[in-house]
């Protein structure tokens, strides 16, 4: 399980390299870049939460619970990375389409 992170990162870097070598696979390269960006957002989110820079007290009070429960914990922990990845993919793909046309 500890090798899963580096393997995913190497797979994303390989996808970016493949997208650069084979122009018809530009979507694979854009997806690899988007996933790398998502991993960076996830690392920043977890770093901010674990260091105490980001606080979730307001969310717990707003939900009226003692702690975060399903599905709110998944939304808080993985939501920013998913949203960032989708937005990055949309912007990068639109730029690739514009430069190819």
CA-closest candidate to residue 65, choices 75, 56, 74: 56
CA-closest candidate to residue 88, choices 5, 6, 12: 12
Each residue's pLDDT, cut to its tens digit, for the chain (101 residues) gives: 578 888 988 999 999 999 989 988 999 999 999 999 999 999 999 999 889 888 888 888 888 888 888 888 888 889 999 999 999 999 999 998 888 76
pLDDT at position 55, please? Answer: 86
Residue extents of the structural domains in the chain:
14-19+28-100
| Structure token digits, residue 41 | 């957002």
Strands (E) located in the chain: none
Strands (E) located in 16-67: none
> What are the tens digits of pLDDT across the range 12-38?
999 999 998 998 899 999 999 999 999
């Amino acid at each position: 399980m500890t090798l899963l992170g580096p393997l995913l990162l190497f797979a994303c870097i390989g996808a970016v390299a493949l997208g650069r070598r084979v122009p018809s696979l530009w979507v694979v390269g854009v997806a690899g870049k988007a996933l790398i960006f998502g991993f960076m957002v996830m690392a920043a989110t977890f770093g901010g939460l674990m260091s105490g820079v980001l606080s979730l007290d307001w969310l717990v009070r707003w939900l009226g619970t003692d702690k975060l429960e399903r599905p709110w914990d998944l939304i808080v922990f993985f939501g920013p990375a998913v949203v960032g990845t989708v937005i990055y993919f949309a912007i990068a793909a639109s730029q690739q389409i514009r430069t190819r046309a």
